[in-house]
Amino acid sequence: MYSIFLRAKHWQLFIPLMVIPFVTMIIFGVVAAFTIYNLEHHSRTTPPEDAANLLFFIPVILILCSFIQFAWFWNVFTKLSKLVPDHVRLPLGRIKFFFIFPILYFCALPFYIVFVIHSVLQRNETNLPMLALLGILVLLLYFFCIFCMIHTMYFSAKIIRSAELQRDARFSTFVGYFFLIWIFPVGIWFIQPKINALINKADRLDSSNRNDLVDRL
């Protein structure tokens, strides 16, 4: 079973998810502090644009972190679920829909924000009813997104534990995994080694089955 996200070590996931964003924020804070200090003392050795340019890296890093986290979930649903016994029924269609919905929501949210800002700047009162209705819809969809993310974490933990036990895992048996996934960048230190062990075990079984087939031929 090939999956770079499931085969990765815990530290290989932790660095781009936690260390790189943390170091970037520290660098931005230091540059911003020096910029403010130099401006207060009428020094131009550090242009204000240097701090502003760093702002462009923040969305890039956030997108990178989100991609890694969502890709990890997707691989759990599509790859690791194959290690779950066939008699364990998983609603994979519903799982994938609830997984994808928050992604679509947060991709569409900037368009609503731009529409609100444009309406405020233009002082277009005819858009107020539309803004109110859209605001209520956005809020309701936000709460639905929270439910979708909890649903995603729940079934991710269930799939991992069911693959380990080779039976339908009850919530009481994977509640620890659920909360570890909730604190994903930290919890990955405890969950990823278990996933690595499952993948390695599956590889050994596949290799053994292929060798048996060759011997029979």
144-183, pLDDT tens digit by residue? Answer: 999 999 999 999 999 999 999 999 999 999 999 999 999 9
- In a domain, residue 154? The reply is yes
- In a domain, residue 152? The reply is yes
pLDDT at position 127 is 66
Q: In this predicted model, which residue has the larger pLDDT, 175 or 109?
A: 175
Residues constituting the chain: 217
pLDDT in tens, 4-42: 888 888 888 888 888 887 887 787 777 777 776 666 665
Number of neighbouring beta carbons within 10 Å of residue 132: 10
- In a domain, residue 217? The reply is no
d(CA 115, CA 161): 44
Could you tell me what percentage of the chain is helix, strand and coil, using 3-state DSSP and rounding each to the nearest 5?
A: 85, 0, 15
Per-residue pLDDT at 96 exceeds 50: yes
Q: How many domains does the chain have?
A: 1
State in Å, rounded, how far the first CA of the chain is from the last one.
Answer: 24
- In a domain, residue 216? The reply is no
| Single pTM value for the model | 0.80
Q: Which domain holds residue 43?
A: 4-80+89-211
- In a domain, residue 10? The reply is yes
